[in-house]
Amino acid sequence: MVDSATAQAPGFHRFTVGAFEVIALHDGVITRDRPAGFVPNASDEEVGEAFATAGMPRDKLTITFTALAIKTPGGVVLIDTGLGDGGPPGTGTLTANLAAAGIQPGDVKTVVISHFHGDHIGGLQLKDGTPRFVNADLLVPEKEWAFWMDDAKMEAAGEAAKGNFGLCRKIFGPVADKVRKFAWDEEFLPGFTAVRANGHTPGMSAIRIASDDGVMMFVADITNNPLIFARHPDWQAMFDMDPAETITTRKRILDQAAAEKMRVSFFHAPFPATGFIVKTGTGYEFLPALWTAS
């Protein structure tokens, strides 16, 4: 039972793209000590300074998680699932916020996955393996599937990376024959087109969402917090599997967003994680969209 006298306003935020209604869904936040080597190609002093300039403590790393649900004429589409019920304290709030927006997991018609990291796929199942979005088709990037479901790639991976290969098997194994794979540049659902966004992972896809004269892009993890990595587009994050490709992808997509003055949604920007990109002399500024009541 939610106590209206003390509860925070629910973590969803609606906006429109043409005839689609888009709902940003907060899946929580974690804060920990900023790891040494969070940005492998910048000094600790430079990184701390960038954190301070962004209004954050120098030595703490806060990561937020925001997925999207889109109400389309063909049903509700969910892009990425959050961490589910197996993540650290303070996470896994996606389904509660979805419910606050009037949508139950069984109402979701399609789940689209941008890439196979645990904060994007973890919510597909409960911890015990029970599927969560029981009426949904599952669509994933073909190159992401090809990489993470390849046993030879798993064997070749370092110990640290093996965990994510295992998670992919736990989550996708039971539904492998039902998963639909999409290619970059494919309009895999009416109005939804996959955009090449590899680097962070080998098959990551941004999703271009278009309806009538409205257009936006879910840019997934082309940056961790854009207050750091859009402002410093040449900085790598320790989570990026191919740092050079990550940076090429980041600049291509941010350039496009700035040129088209197109709304973007990040997975790791401060909630509601949606806004616009402006190019500056040295990088890019993420400008949160105005919160509106309707």
Q: Does 282 bind a copy of itself (CB under 8 A)?
A: no
Contact code string over 181-200 relative to a copy of itself, x by CB under 8 A: --------------------
Distance of alpha carbon 243 from alpha carbon 284, whole angstroms: 18
* Closer residue to a copy of itself, CB minimum distance, 164 or 224: 224
Residues numbered 96-115 forming contacts with a copy of itself, rule: CB under 8 A: 100-103
DSSP line for 105-134: GGGEEEEE-S--SHHHHGGGB-TTS-BS-T
Q: Considering Cα of 226, then 232, then 233, then 239, what sign does the dihedral take?
A: negative
Closer residue to a copy of itself (CB): 28 or 233: 28
By CB under 8 A, residue 146 contacts a copy of itself: no
Q: Which stretch binds a copy of itself (CB under 8 A): 2-10, 40-48, 170-178, 207-215?
A: 2-10
Count other C-beta atoms under 10 Å from residue 222's C-beta. Answer: 31
DSSP state of 176: T
Our finding on whether 29 is near a copy of itself (CB under 8 A) is yes
Torsion angle of C-alpha atoms 171, 172, 173, 176, degrees rounded to 10: 160
Shorter beta-carbon distance to a copy of itself: residue 93 or 246: 93
Element (H, E) at 33: strand 20-33
The residues of the shown chain that bind a copy of itself, judged by CB under 8 A, are 3-14, 26, 28-29, 52-56, 62, 64, 90, 93, 100-103, 227, 270-272, 275-276, 278, 285, 287-294
